[in-house]
Amino acid sequence: MSFTTGRSRWSDVWLAAAARGTTICGDFLAATALALALQGAGAGGPAVSGLLLAATLPLVVLAPLAGRLADRVDSRTLLVTVGLAQAAICTLLAVVAQPVLVVALVALLASGLAVTQPCLAALLPAMVRRADLPRANAISQTAVSLGALGGPVLAGLLVGQFGTRVPLLVDAATYLALVAAGLLLRTRRGGRRTAAAVPTAAGPSVAGLPTAGGTTEGWRLRLDPLMLVMVVSTAVVIAAIGGINVIEVFFIRETLKGSATTYGLVGAAWMAGMLPGGWLAARLARRLDDDGALVRGVLIALAGCSLMVLLAALVPTAGVLVPLWLVAGAANGLTNVFANLLIARRVPEAMHARSYASFGAAVQGGSMTGYLLGGALLTQVSPRPLIAGAGAAGLLVVLVFVPVVARAVRRPVREQSAGPGRDTTAGPVRPQSTGPECEETTGSEALRPGGTDAGLATPGRPAGP
């Protein structure tokens, strides 16, 4: 980790949050519009599943390359270049009609997200002091939630009035917010800036982990039991409940006879719940200097999401889903903030973007599994029992991981490289600083099934992280 050694740059935090919220709104708008268009055209579960997979697969496949790119290339260059490219892709998406071209363009759009998501996530810890990171994460989570909250509602309204073209053009315009953020942010990382922040051989270790030869290249996820169990448990739970993104549109529109507007409002309820969830997580995290407590918090929040999905199978009308999705969204907000904090605390700064990208890839991989299962099962089983099965499976996975988390908390971190006198326990991380303060300093959702805020873990429908 590498936090700023001077005052926290709250203007940068708010600017980055505004850019993320704006683009998230456009992406959720486009994703909801495309899902409604497919359902309205008579397409079945496999078609919706295919669209979601096109928006998710690049985030998984390109994660190693995209993470390294975000760590090694100047963040301003990446945000401006990729933002302009994504705006052009969305413009093309608004004018093409062939399904194959639509899927290809959605995949290209997701390829850009694979780069910008870890880039923005890794910038956040560089903007603030360590003690301020929970609040900064809550601000970012709030922006994401507000953007995702407005997207489905606008889609439900605009699709009924104008079809899919207008929502997609709006999405294209929102990517200009990334360009503006890239130009205006004082905090930058990547390239020489990140290299300058790497500790020397005599410098501090990260999360009690010795570094390889004075660099951070020796850090490995598999050797950190707390990080490993957090990533795996989150990915497996999302695989269990991720199919609801495919099933939900048919459950609301056909089983519960809800309108397109109702579908948008129900989707917005989940995001509305993330608002208080993120701020609650920030308050709790200020009292937690124990990384094991953060991992337990992630597991409890995952159980809350799964329970709400299980209860959703019992509702008589679509409107009853709203309070359930509010609670699930609050749990989602807790998950996002706790997971982001754990990564920022335990991962070397020079590998922040790669770690966020890897976590996002694990989450999106779980989502893809859920999409495939949901799309395939919809051809054989009605939506209501599928919703119940997804929630029950999520709870079962959480129960399985309870003893695994308990063992991980007690287990010492395996040594990353030879380093006499180093502490290799998995205990709490103490404040450190690795690099001078300057105007442009270095340093660094989803659980709505199908997206991350790592964001990641943003969690949200995958066409918008």
* CB neighbour list of residue 408: distance below 8 Å, 6 or more residues apart: 225, 226, 228, 229, 292, 295, 426
Q: What is the mean pLDDT of residues 60-88?
A: 89
Say how far apart CA 184 and CA 181 lie, in whole Å: 5
Give the residue, 419 or 385, on which the prediction is more confident.
385
Read off the pLDDT of residues 237-272 as tens digits, 9 standing for 90 and up: 998 898 888 888 889 988 898 887 788 788 778 878
Question: DSSP string of 73-130?
Answer: S-HHHHHHHHHHHHHHHHHHHHH---HHHHHHHHHHHHHHHHHHHHHHHHHHHHHS-G
Is a pLDDT exceeding 60 seen at residue 444? no
Question: DSSP string of 261-302?
Answer: HHHHHHHHHHHHHHHHHHHHHHHHHTT---HHHHHHHHHHHH
Q: 302 to each of 37, 184, 330, 350, how far by Cα in Å?
A: 31, 36, 11, 29
Share of the chain above pLDDT 70, in %: 77
Read off the pLDDT of residues 126-156 as tens digits, 9 standing for 90 and up: 898 888 888 888 888 788 878 877 777 787 7
Q: 319 to each of 266, 267, 395, 443, how far by Cα in Å?
A: 7, 11, 24, 44
Confidence tier at 79 by pLDDT (50, 70, 90): very high
Is a pLDDT exceeding 80 seen at residue 4? no
Say how far apart CA 111 and CA 1 lie, in whole Å: 26
Look at residue 415 in the predicted model and tell me its pLDDT.
46
Provide the β-strand partners of residue 209: 206
Q: Is 425 exposed, middle or buried (0-12, 13-18, 19+ CB in 10 A)?
A: exposed
Confidence tier at 369 by pLDDT (50, 70, 90): confident
DSSP state of 132: G
Look at residue 459 in the predicted model and tell me its pLDDT.
33
Look at residue 345 in the predicted model and tell me its pLDDT.
82
Amino acid at 141: Q
SS (H, E, C) 143-197: HHHHHHHHHHHHHHHHHHHHCCHHHHHHHHHHCHHHHHHHHHCCCCCCCHHHHHC
* Structure tokens that stand for 200 in this block: 């020397």
Look at residue 40 in the predicted model and tell me its pLDDT.
66
Confidence tier at 327 by pLDDT (50, 70, 90): very high
Say how far apart CA 236 and CA 151 lie, in whole Å: 27
Look at residue 436 in the predicted model and tell me its pLDDT.
34
- The residue with tokens 């997206």 is 451
Is a pLDDT exceeding 80 seen at residue 223? no
126, 306, 125, 297: which is closest to 226 by C-alpha? 297
Q: What is this structure's pTM?
A: 0.69
Read off the pLDDT of residues 157-202 as tens digits, 9 standing for 90 and up: 887 778 778 888 888 899 998 899 999 998 888 766 544 444 333 3
Provide the β-strand partners of residue 453: 456
* Structure tokens that stand for 192 in this block: 């020489």
Look at residue 412 in the predicted model and tell me its pLDDT.
56
Say how far apart CA 140 and CA 132 lie, in whole Å: 13
Read off the pLDDT of residues 34-48 as tens digits, 9 standing for 90 and up: 777 766 666 666 666
Give the residue, 430 or 304, on which the prediction is more confident.
304
Look at residue 41 in the predicted model and tell me its pLDDT.
65
8 A C-beta contact, residue 124 and residue 70: no
Confidence tier at 52 by pLDDT (50, 70, 90): confident
8 A C-beta contact, residue 461 and residue 31: yes
* CB neighbour list of residue 34: distance below 8 Å, 6 or more residues apart: 51, 102, 106, 164, 463
Look at residue 32 in the predicted model and tell me its pLDDT.
77
Say how far apart CA 279 and CA 265 lie, in whole Å: 22
Look at residue 219 in the predicted model and tell me its pLDDT.
62
Say how far apart CA 319 and CA 76 lie, in whole Å: 43
8 A C-beta contact, residue 71 and residue 354: yes
Say how far apart CA 351 and CA 386 lie, in whole Å: 39
Look at residue 442 in the predicted model and tell me its pLDDT.
32
192, 145, 140, 194: which is closest to 16 by C-alpha? 140
Read off the pLDDT of residues 188-200 as tens digits, 9 standing for 90 and up: 887 665 444 443 3
In the chain, the domains with their CATH numbers are 10-191+216-410 (1.20.1250.20)
Say how far apart CA 233 and CA 339 lie, in whole Å: 11
The pLDDT mean for the chain works out to 76
